[in-house]
Amino acid sequence: MVALAIMSCEQKVEETSSLKQESNCRQVQHQMGETKICGEPKRIVALGPHVLEPLIALKIHPVAFGDHVSFYRKDYTNPSQQIPYLGKYLNESITNVGVANTPNIEAILKVKPDLILGIKDNNGNQYETLSKIAPTIMLDWDEPEENMRAIALATNRSALAEQLLQETQAKITQAKKEFLPIVKKDPKVLLLYGEGLQELISNNSKGFCGSLIKDLGFQLVSPPKSNPSIPDTRTVISLEILPQLEKADSIILFGYNFSQTENLKNMDNFEQHQLTKLQQAWEKNAIAQSLEASKEGRVYYIPAYLCAGLTNSIGTELYLNTLKQQLLLTEKL
């Protein structure tokens, strides 16, 4: 009788626990459909900085991470020196599951995740496989607010997410006031991405690097598309065409040199590694130096990883600070 009573009691506890967990379930809409998340995930795999950043902002420490660039091959035992920009916010070791768009499935299995976060453009073809391991959410790299809300819903932190989004918008509004004198005086900005000068890319209409510049009130100078019938926001232009474009008051060059990053001893010099090749080429090139922006000292160099990889609250603050340090300082001088 006693044994039966104990079994009955245990069964009721299990049923109550199961019902409680079921009542704490959410359906999270994302780029690949809808995923059911119950309870509060504790072992999260982040595939790329676009999803690692919101997790950190929400005060969540994932168990595993895969970066877009293979900086470091081993587990992140010292994240501040092994993960660009975001590592300093991680105070514990984190498993390295390889490059974000081709993650190591075996490494993911080993950490026994209860939630996997990725970006559709990178991981959409792996969604079915990853979903068999753990509930998986696929997001859009160019939708930072939606990403924050989706991750917050999945991790039971929606109130904190809304607070962060409001704080971020307030920072942009304040920065817009600070940049107003420059916007009135020199409103037109040309944005170019490159490793060197062999291939420069203009990508004004999509992406955080350009959208924040527009939010501050600047007008983006856009070169003509190579094929106007194709709705592609990326336009490859040669250096020789630059003098023929609409006059830009300022030029921002985003350096994305990610080659030989395995030779970097730590992340302290990663920013300059992205910029050096592009900056040296620009400063030595006669066509580049003939442009009015170069003559006036209004050419600025920003690491592409900063604004292309970090599109949420942490990245916004870092990007704004970089723009202030360069553009506002030049104006004062």
Examine the pLDDT at 282 and tell me if it is beyond 80. Answer: yes
* Least confidently predicted of 42-56, 64-78, 105-119, 222-236: 222-236
For residue 21, the one-letter residue type is Q
Examine the pLDDT at 145 and tell me if it is beyond 50. Answer: yes
Q: Which residues contact 145 (CB under 8 A, 6 or more apart)?
A: 165
Question: Residue 280 and residue 53: Cα distance in Å, rounded?
Answer: 31
Question: Residue 267 and residue 84: Cα distance in Å, rounded?
Answer: 6
- Whose tokens are 């309870």? That residue is 39
User: Given this model, what pLDDT does residue 274 score?
Assistant: 85
User: Given this model, what pLDDT does residue 212 score?
Assistant: 95
| Rg (the chain; Cα; Å) | 23
* Segment 151-162 mean pLDDT: 97
* Segment 285-300 mean pLDDT: 95
Q: What is the pTM of this model?
A: 0.87
User: Given this model, what pLDDT does residue 15 score?
Assistant: 44
Q: What contacts 24+ positions apart, CB below 8 Å, involve 177-182?
A: 178/324, 178/328, 179/216, 179/217, 179/218, 179/323, 179/327, 179/328, 180/217, 181/331, 182/327, 182/328, 182/331
* Segment 309-318 mean pLDDT: 94
Dihedral sign for Cα 194, 301, 69, 152, please: negative
Higher pLDDT, 196 or 25: 25
Average pLDDT over all residues of the chain: 87
Higher pLDDT, 70 or 312: 312
Chain segment 172-185, per-residue pLDDT in tens: 999 999 999 999 99
Q: What domains sit in the chain, N to C, each tagged with a CATH number?
A: 16-156 (3.40.50.1980), 169-332 (3.40.50.1980)
- Whose tokens are 């496989």? That residue is 129
* Segment 118-140 mean pLDDT: 96
User: Given this model, what pLDDT does residue 232 score?
Assistant: 52
* Segment 308-328 mean pLDDT: 94
* Least confidently predicted of 120-129, 158-167, 219-228: 219-228
Residue 87's CB is within 10 A of a number of other CB atoms, namely 21
Going along 40-187, which residue ranges are E strands?
Answer: 44-47, 64-66, 95-96, 115-119, 136-139
User: Given this model, what pLDDT does residue 331 score?
Assistant: 60
